[in-house]
Amino acid sequence: NADDGYRLWLKYDLIRDAAKRTTYAQSAQFIALTGNSPILQTAANELQTGLQGLLGKTIPIIANAGNRTGGIVLTLRNTPDAGAGTLNDEGYQIEQRSNIQISAKTDRGVLYGVFALLRYVQTGQSLHRITLTSNPKVRYRLLNHWDNTNGTIERGYAGESLWKWFELPATVDSRYRDYARANASLGINGTVVNNVNASARFMTDEYIEKVAALANVFRNYGIRLYLSIYFPAPKTIGGLKTADPLEPEVKKWWADKTKAIYKAIPDFGGFLVKANSEGEPGPQDYGRTHADGANMLAEALAPYDGVVMWRAFVYKADPKADRFKAAYEEFVPLDGKFNKKVIIQVKNGPIDFQPREPFSPIFGNMPQTPLSMEFQITQEYMGFATHTVFEAPLFKECLDSDTFVKGKGSTVAKVVDGSLHGYNVTAMAGVANTGSDRNWTGNPMAQANWYAFGRLAWDHTLSAEAIAREWVTMSLTSEPKSVQTIINMLLKSRDIYVAYNTPLGLSRPWTGAHFAPEPWQNRSSRPDWTAIYYHRADSAGLGFDRTTTGSNALAQYRPEVQQQWNNVETCPLPYLLWFHHVPWTKKLTNGRTLWDELCVHFYSGADSVRWMQQQWVQVKPAVDPAIFADVAGRLSTQYKEAIWWRDAWVLYLQPFARQPIPAPFKKPD
């Protein structure tokens, strides 16, 4: 009866403690569903399914509680009475009086309340006098799939695409529903099903029909479907001579196309766009701006409830420029020029999903334009599906960073949730790590990253530890000591990865596949796609000078932020080489030289993977044997690869540094 990980955090295994089961069952004698909609029906069914597993009983679904007590009542509360007043459109309230009331303004809110209640039971919390109100802090909470028409996934490490384009629309895999359930359980309410490096085929009738079949499944779980678009589609599939966004015929083409999409998918969410970025075409090809392009699409969406998510991931192939500065330089001057349906989607860091980056300086600097956070859940730069790296600490580090744009406490999270500048629409997107692998994410531990993204998109104030605790308890084990061991391991895993991979603010020691260490790489199709462009190792030192003596990228931040990072004597070590070219023998704040400190990180980082292996062995009796073996195997590969990273860096850098490897580390493995 081995667990293959398919059920994710929705396992609903029978609660072993019979007394506990009875207590829960006393407050769950029936499920009363007042109101009628497919999503409410989903909510009742999900509650029934969950409780069936956890309590070992079929709880009847009834139409009305009448005078009955001891049940769970799902209600829509459209009236602005005291309770409903504190709820936003998707929020929910759970309260136990004579029944447990789960109420919300919309059916989606009720669904989220149901999953919250189930989470309470799954994590063993008491429902007695439960009173809980929760509202999502951002409105659009999306996964972005980088999935292609041929079934491959850009930067996907868990098999093929979940979407079987060749079978759709006639054959609808039951897995699509399971995908929707998992997302809805986290509060994710949208999904972009295709790659931002988009194929124009998604705009053809053939594909609109296929994606509409997916949307039909997602709809019952409150999930709206979005599409990435190929900007020159009016030319490539529309037969027009141009895709210039200011040309009337181009505008008309998009308006007609949008109409056709809404005909097939009435709740279509909108468009995601990568334009004039990494060779993708865009409005600049016609001398137009990002705003011209985005606004043209927004106008096409004007009759509908849809938005444009326009990505700010842009930089030029210029070896002399600093890529760090590029997105800010192109987008900040456009603040105030975007249609109100446009959201600018910004990666968390200024370069590209590195294991540790400072926050993007765009956050806080476009007060008139809603900015969406783009995190990468898939581990493009974090060991693919092999290395165990829990990303909640990375997400939190960025969200909690202070931009200081309106004084102390102007965190990135407050920019994104709209509270700082009063954005009318707010969004967070996560580049998905799911695929056709039976356990969805390849590495079972990577399920935690999907989970963490969803939970933080709902509520960015949750701590990484609380998220880890929920996930471990629901997905792996509820045995308290093992839960704690796994949480410790997860919470340290990202710093461990950074230590052997890109310590002290190093970045991008890869080219191409972004897998193997290639810090020596100085040749590429683009001058800024070499490793040396980023780390700048030479006989004088290491790191990218972004102070006034260098690219001065720091000037894009507020003075308070500059002060944290602009002085090599005081810059926190995790960010040191992001901003400074540091001499090899320079004494750092902790008294070690740069070279010695690097070695400490590389060596102790690799050793810490061994520590993770030891931790994992300790939980063996408490977790499913199949999952145990799977993770154990991946950890042993991770250990080998950590040593590989360590040695690649040390041996590459040593001829520049001309320093011995510090004594404690010399011993061969």
Positions marked catalytic:
278, 352, 380
Q: Minimal distance in Å, beta carbon 275 to ligand GCW?
A: 11
- The residue from 292, 330, 380, 495 that contacts ligand GCW (CB under 6 A) is 380
How many residues are present in the chain? 669
Contact 602, 416 (CB under 8 A): no
CA distance 577 to 580: 5
Beta bridge partners, 132, equal: 94
Q: Which is nearer to ligand GCW, 262 or 515 (CB)?
A: 515
Q: How far is the CB of 378 from ligand GCW (least distance, A)?
A: 10
Can you read off the two tokens belonging to residue 18? 């019979």
Count the site residues for ligand GCW by CB under 6 A.
11
Decide: is 146 part of the binding site for ligand GCW (CB under 6 A).
Answer: yes
Shortest approach of ligand GCW to residue 535 CB, angstroms?
18
For residue 547, which of 579, 584, 595 has the smallest C-alpha distance? 579
Other Cβ atoms within 10 Å of 129 Cβ, number: 8
> By C-beta, is 313 or 363 nearer to ligand GCW?
313
Told to check if 45 binds ligand GCW by CB under 6 A, we report: no
Q: In whole angstroms, give the CA distance from residue 317 to residue 61.
A: 61
The yes or no reply on residue 317 touching ligand GCW (CB under 6 A) is no
Q: What CA dihedral angle connects 324, 644, 465 and 481, to 10 degrees?
A: 180
Please state whether beta strands 427-431 and 371-376 pair in parallel, antiparallel, or not at all (unpaired): parallel
Residue 341 within binding range of ligand GCW, rule CB under 6 A: no
Site for ligand GCW in 154-213 (CB under 6 A): 154-155, 196-197
Query: Which tokens sit at 281?
Result: 């075409």
Which residue's Cβ lies closest to ligand GCW? 352
508 binds ligand GCW (CB under 6 A): no
- Contacts to ligand GCW from residues 255-274, by CB under 6 A: 274
Q: Write out the binding residues for ligand GCW, residues 590-629 only, by CB under 6 A.
A: none
Interatomic CA distance for residues 93 and 83, integer angstroms? 8
Our measurement of the distance from residue 241's CA atom to the centroid of its chain's CA atoms, rounded to an integer in Å, reads 38
Rule CB under 6 A: choose which of 157, 226, 286, 313 binds ligand GCW.
313
CB atoms within 10 A of CB 110: 28
Return the number of the residue (226 or 404) whose C-beta is nearest ligand GCW: 226
Element (H, E) at 98: none
* Interface with ligand GCW, residue 404, by CB under 6 A: no
| Interacting residue with ligand GCW among 353, 595, 616, 628 (CB under 6 A) | 353
User: CB-wise, 103 or 379, nearer to ligand GCW?
Assistant: 379
Least distance (Å) between residue 374 CB and ligand GCW: 8
CA-based nearest residue to 380, from 526, 492, 510: 510
**What residues contact 264, with CB distance under 8 A and at least 6 apart?**
208, 209, 211, 212, 215
Q: Give 313 or 565: the residue with its C-beta nearer to ligand GCW.
A: 313
Closest separation in Å from C-beta 31 to ligand GCW = 43
Q: With respect to ligand GCW, which residue has the nearer C-beta, 432 or 467?
A: 432
- Which ranges of 93-247 would DSSP assign to H, the alpha helix? 107-122, 175-186, 205-219, 233-236
Nearest CB to ligand GCW, comparing residues 327 and 474: 327
Summarize as ranges the residues that interact with ligand GCW (CB under 6 A). Answer: 146, 154-155, 196-197, 274, 278, 313, 352-353, 380
